[in-house]
Amino acid sequence: MHSFFKRYVLPGLVFQSVIIGGGYGTGREIAEFFVSHGALGGLFGMGVTAICWGVILAIAFEFARITKSYNYRSFFKALLGPLWRLFEIIYLLIVLLVLSVLGSAAGEMLSAALGAPPILGAIILLAAVGALAYSGGKAIERALALWSLLLYGVYAVFFVWVVSRFGGTIGETLSSGDVIGPWVLDGARYAAYNLIAIGAVLFVLPYLKTRKDALVSGFLAGVLGIIPGILVLLAMLSQYPGIQEDPVPVLSILQALNSVWFFVVFQIVLFGTFVETGTGLIHAVNERIASVFAETGKAFPRWARLAIAAGLLGGAIFLAGAVGIIDLIAKGYGVLSYAFIAIVAIPLLTVGVFKIMTSKANPMEAVNDPA
C-alpha cells in the first residue's frame, strides 16, 4: 500500500499542492479563466484543462523516468537540448509572478480578517515558505502530501455547505446554460501556465519504476489537480455574476456562509496552500542548483537554500505591492501561458513522445509489473 501511494497518488498530491495557491486557491484565477465564460462554459473549460494535464503529465512523467531527470535542469536539457535555458528564464519569471500573487492574496486575507496592512500578510506568508524550503526534500514531500489530504477534506466540507445553502441558486445558474467566449482556449491556457508544476513535482518521480507507473500516475495527477478547482467553480456560481469582480472570491463565499469558525479554519487551510505552492516552486530551483553542486562533488549548503528563497520572496513582495492581484493574474498569467505552450507542451507532445517511443524501455514492461 505504501508503494502504491508513492507511485500513483503522491505525484498527484504534490502536483495539486504546487498549483493550488497560484491556480485556484483564491478563486481569482477561476474567475479570470473560467467563470468569465459562463456557468457551463467554465465547466467545459475545466474539462479541457483536466484532459491537457492528464495527457501532458503522463508523457512528462514517463519522459522523466526513461531519462532519469528528477530536477528541471536535467529534464529540460534532455527535452530541449541547448534551448533548455529558455525554460529556466520563463520558470523564474512565473515563480516571481506566482509568489507575488500568493503574497497579494495573503495580504488581502489578513487585511479583511484583522484590518492589518496587506504587506504584513505577505511577509508572514513568505517567511513560512522560506522556513519550509530550508527544511529540504523529505520534509517538503511529507508536508505537501499531508496538507493536500487536509485540503481535500476542508474543500469537501466547504462545497457541501455551499450547496446546502445555495444549491438552488447554483442549479439555476447552471440551467441557464451560459457558454461565453473562447472557453477551449482559456482551458488550454490555464493548463499551460500551471505546467510550471512539472519542475516542482520531479523530485518525487524516482518512485516510478515502470511505464505503467508513469502513465497512470501522470493522468491521475491531472484528475487530482482539477477536482478542488471544480468544487471552487461550482461554489462561486452561488454568487454569480458579481463574484467575478472580487479580488479574492472565496472570501465572499465564506462571508455568505456566515460562520466565524469555518471562516477561520478555511483561511488557515488556504494560507497553508499558499505555503505549499511557494515552497514547491522554490524547492525546484534549489534542486536545480543542488544538481550542479553534485556534479562537482560538493554538497549544496542548507544556508544557500534559505538565501535563494529569501531572494525570490523579496522580489515577489515588491511585485505584489506594486501591481496587485487582479492585474497580476489577468496580465501576467495570460502572457506566460503562451510561453509554456511553446516550450513545455509542444516539445513534450513531439520530442518527448518520439524519445519515449524510441527508448530502450520495453513498452510491455507494464504487463509484467506485479503491481
CA distance 201 to 170: 35
Q: Residue 326: which of 254, 244, 268, 258 has the closest Cα?
A: 244
Element (DSSP H or E) covering residue 285: helix 260-295
pLDDT confidence of residue 285 = 80
Stated length of the chain: 371
Tens of pLDDT, residues 288-322 = 788 778 777 777 777 777 777 777 777 766 665 55
Residue with cell 501556465: 193
> Is residue 339 a contact partner of residue 87, using CB atoms and an 8 Å limit?
no
Higher pLDDT, 52 or 139: 52
Taking 90 as the threshold, does the pLDDT of residue 258 lie above it?
no
> Is residue 217 a contact partner of residue 8, using CB atoms and an 8 Å limit?
yes
- Report how far Cα 135 is from the mean position of its chain's Cα atoms: 20
SS3 assignment, position 10? helix
CA distance 50 to 228: 12
pLDDT grade, residue 75 (50/70/90)? very high
Tens of pLDDT, residues 104-153 = 777 777 776 667 676 777 777 777 877 777 776 677 777 777 777 887 88
Higher pLDDT, 191 or 248: 191
**What is the sign, positive or negative, of the torsion defined by CA atoms of 135, 136, 142, 146?**
positive
Taking 90 as the threshold, does the pLDDT of residue 49 lie above it?
yes
Residue type, 72: Y
CA distance 149 to 13: 8
CA distance 67 to 348: 13
User: pLDDT over 70 for what percent of the chain?
Assistant: 88
pLDDT confidence of residue 334 = 65
Taking 70 as the threshold, does the pLDDT of residue 222 lie above it?
yes
> Is residue 192 a contact partner of residue 56, using CB atoms and an 8 Å limit?
no
All residues at 6 or more sequence positions from 335 whose CB lies less than 8 Å from its CB, including other chains? none
All residues at 6 or more sequence positions from 368 whose CB lies less than 8 Å from its CB, including other chains? none
pLDDT confidence of residue 332 = 59
CA distance 368 to 210: 10
Structural domains present in the chain:
7-356 (1.20.1740.10)
Q: Residue 21: which of 236, 342, 328, 261 has the closest Cα?
A: 328
User: pLDDT over 90 for what percent of the chain?
Assistant: 22
pLDDT confidence of residue 340 = 84
Taking 50 as the threshold, does the pLDDT of residue 367 lie above it?
no
Tens of pLDDT, residues 317-338 = 666 555 555 555 555 566 777 8
Q: Residue 328: which of 24, 120, 29 has the closest Cα?
A: 29
Mean pLDDT, to the nearest integer, of 233-255? 84
Q: From residue 341, how far is each of 7, 8, 240 by CA, in Å?
A: 27, 26, 30
pLDDT confidence of residue 366 = 41
pLDDT confidence of residue 218 = 95
SS3 assignment, position 25? coil
Q: From residue 150, how far is each of 13, 90, 93, 361 by CA, in Å?
A: 11, 31, 30, 37
pLDDT grade, residue 48 (50/70/90)? very high
pTM beyond 0.85: no
Q: Which cell is 34 given?
A: 473560467
> Is residue 248 a contact partner of residue 105, using CB atoms and an 8 Å limit?
yes
pLDDT confidence of residue 250 = 82
How confident is the prediction for the chain on average, in pLDDT?
81
pLDDT grade, residue 57 (50/70/90)? very high
